[in-house]
A and B are shown apart, each in its own frame.
Chain A
Amino acid sequence: MTPENRSDYWKANIRLVTILLIIWFIASYGLAILLVEPLNQFYLGGYPLGFWFAQQGSIYVFLVLIFAYAFGMNRLDKKFDVEE
Chain B
Amino acid sequence: MSNLSNLDIWTYSVVGFTFATYIGIAIWARAGTTGEFYVAGKGVHPVLNGMATGADWMSAASFISMAGLIAFNGYGGSVFLMGWTGGYVLLALLLAPYLRKFGKFTVPEFIGDRYYSQTARIVAVICLILASITYVIGQMKGIGVAFSRFLEVSYDMGLYIGMAIVAVYAVLGGMKGITYTQIAQYVVLIMAYTIPAIFISLNLTGNPFPQLGLGSEYAPDGVASGVSMLAKLDQVVTELGFKEYTTQTMGSTLNMFAYTLSLMIGTAGLPHVIIRFFTVPTVKSARFSAGWALVFIAILYTTAPAVGAMARLNFIDTLMIEKTETTEQGLAAFEPLPGDDLPGWFQNWSQTGLLVWKDLNDDGLVQYYNDKNDATIAEADALGYKGSEIFHGTGDALKPGPDLDIMVLANPEIAGLPNWVIALIVAGGLAAALSTAAGLLLAISSAISHDLLKSVFMKDISEKAELNAGRLSMIGAIIVAGYLGLNPPGFAAGTVAIAFGLAASSIFPALMLGIFYKRMNNVGAVAGMIAGITVTLLYVFQHKGIFFIPGTEFLAPQLGMGADWFFGISPNAFGAVGAVVNFAVAFLVSAVTAPPPEHIQHLVEDVRVPRGAGDATGH
> Which interface residue of B81, B217, B231 has the most chain A CB atoms within 10 A?
B81
Q: Which residues of B contact A56 (CB under 8 A)?
A: 211, 302, 305
A84 and B211 contact, CB distance less than 8 A:
no
B610 and A63 contact, CB distance less than 8 A:
no
A66 and B283 contact, CB distance less than 8 A:
no
Does B93 sit at the interface, judged by CB under 8 A?
Answer: yes
B283 and A10 contact, CB distance less than 8 A:
no
Which one of B286-294, B323-331, B429-437, B562-570 is at the A interface? B286-294
> Which interface residue of A17, A33, A83 has the most chain B CB atoms within 10 A?
A33
Q: Which residues of B contact A70 (CB under 8 A)?
A: 92, 284, 287-288, 290-291
B230 and A47 contact, CB distance less than 8 A:
yes
Q: A54-B78, A66-B291, A83-B611 are in contact. Are A21 and B93 (CB under 8 A)?
A: yes
CA distance A23 to B199 in the complex (A): 35
CA distance A67 to B46 in the complex (A): 13
Q: Which residues of B contact A9 (CB under 8 A)?
A: 608-609
A33 and B253 contact, CB distance less than 8 A:
yes
CA distance A84 to B611 in the complex (A): 4
Does B85 sit at the interface, judged by CB under 8 A?
Answer: yes
CA distance A10 to B516 in the complex (A): 10
**B546 to A: closest C-beta gap in Å:** 32
Q: Which residues of A contact B212 (CB under 8 A)?
A: 45
B82 and A46 contact, CB distance less than 8 A:
no
Q: Which residues of A contact B305 (CB under 8 A)?
A: 55-56
Chain A's interface: helix, strand, loop or mixed, by majority?
helix
Cβ 8 A contact of A62, one of B70, B89, B94, B610: B89
Q: A59-B298, A84-B611 are in contact. Are A33 and B260 (CB under 8 A)?
A: yes
Does B574 sit at the interface, judged by CB under 8 A?
Answer: no
Q: Which residues of A contact B291 (CB under 8 A)?
A: 63, 66-67, 70
B609 and A20 contact, CB distance less than 8 A:
no
Does B88 sit at the interface, judged by CB under 8 A?
Answer: yes
B216 and A17 contact, CB distance less than 8 A:
no
CA distance A48 to B93 in the complex (A): 31
CA distance A21 to B215 in the complex (A): 28
CA distance A9 to B607 in the complex (A): 13
A59 and B610 contact, CB distance less than 8 A:
no
**A75 to B: closest C-beta gap in Å:** 11
Closest chain A residue to B281 by CB distance?
A84
CA distance A37 to B248 in the complex (A): 11
Q: Which residues of A contact B287 (CB under 8 A)?
A: 66, 69-70, 73-74
Q: A9-B609, A67-B291 are in contact. Are A46 and B75 (CB under 8 A)?
A: no
Does A15 sit at the interface, judged by CB under 8 A?
Answer: no
Interface residues of B in 146-193 (CB under 8 A from A): none
**A30 to B: closest C-beta gap in Å:** 11
CA distance A28 to B260 in the complex (A): 9
B253 and A62 contact, CB distance less than 8 A:
no
**A58 to B: closest C-beta gap in Å:** 5
CA distance A35 to B214 in the complex (A): 21
**B307 to A: closest C-beta gap in Å:** 11
Does B282 sit at the interface, judged by CB under 8 A?
Answer: yes
Q: A33-B256, A66-B89, A82-B610 are in contact. Are A59 and B216 (CB under 8 A)?
A: no
A74 and B284 contact, CB distance less than 8 A:
yes
> Which interface residue of B92, B93, B257, B301 has the most chain A CB atoms within 10 A?
B93
Q: Which residues of A contact B75 (CB under 8 A)?
A: 36, 51, 54-55
Q: Which residues of B contact A21 (CB under 8 A)?
A: 89, 93
Closest chain B residue to A56 by CB distance?
B302
Interface residues of B in 191-222 (CB under 8 A from A): 211-212, 214-217
B613 and A84 contact, CB distance less than 8 A:
yes
**B389 to A: closest C-beta gap in Å:** 31
Closest chain B residue to A80 by CB distance?
B609
A62 and B231 contact, CB distance less than 8 A:
no
Q: Which residues of A contact B89 (CB under 8 A)?
A: 20-21, 24, 62, 65-66
Does B394 sit at the interface, judged by CB under 8 A?
Answer: no
Closest chain A residue to B246 by CB distance?
A51
A46 and B283 contact, CB distance less than 8 A:
no
B253 and A59 contact, CB distance less than 8 A:
no
Q: Which residues of A contact B609 (CB under 8 A)?
A: 1, 6, 9, 82
CA distance A41 to B260 in the complex (A): 23
A48 and B246 contact, CB distance less than 8 A:
yes
Q: Which residues of A contact B489 (CB under 8 A)?
A: none
1/0 per residue, CB under 8 A from A, across B591-617: the answer is 000000000000001001111110000
1/0 per residue, CB under 8 A from B, across A1-18: the answer is 100001001100100010
Interface residues of B in 74-100 (CB under 8 A from A): 75, 78, 81-82, 85-86, 88-89, 92-94, 97
A24 and B86 contact, CB distance less than 8 A:
yes
CA distance A17 to B611 in the complex (A): 19
Q: Which residues of B contact A66 (CB under 8 A)?
A: 88-89, 92-93, 287, 290-291, 294
CA distance A23 to B610 in the complex (A): 25
**A52 to B: closest C-beta gap in Å:** 7
1/0 per residue, CB under 8 A from A, across B243-266: the answer is 000110000010011001100100
Q: Which residues of B contact A46 (CB under 8 A)?
A: 214-217, 228-231
CA distance A37 to B216 in the complex (A): 21
Q: A17-B93, A40-B247, A45-B215 are in contact. Are A34 and B253 (CB under 8 A)?
A: yes
**B514 to A: closest C-beta gap in Å:** 15
> Which interface residue of B81, B82, B287, B610 has the most chain A CB atoms within 10 A?
B82
Q: A46-B228, A46-B230, A82-B609 are in contact. Are A73 and B97 (CB under 8 A)?
A: yes
Q: Which residues of A contact B290 (CB under 8 A)?
A: 66, 70
Does B295 sit at the interface, judged by CB under 8 A?
Answer: yes
The 4 A-B pairs with the shortest beta carbon distances in the complex, nearest first, are A46-B228, A54-B78, A45-B215, A70-B287
22 pairs, A vs B, C-beta closer than 8 Å: A9-B609, A17-B94, A20-B89, A24-B89, A46-B230, A47-B230, A59-B301, A60-B298, A62-B88, A62-B89, A63-B295, A66-B88, A66-B92, A69-B287, A70-B290, A73-B287, A74-B284, A77-B610, A82-B610, A82-B611, A83-B610, A84-B284
Given contacts A6-B608, A55-B70, A82-B609, 13 further A-B contacts (CB under 8 A): A9-B609, A17-B94, A28-B260, A34-B253, A47-B215, A55-B214, A59-B85, A62-B298, A66-B89, A66-B92, A69-B93, A84-B282, A84-B284
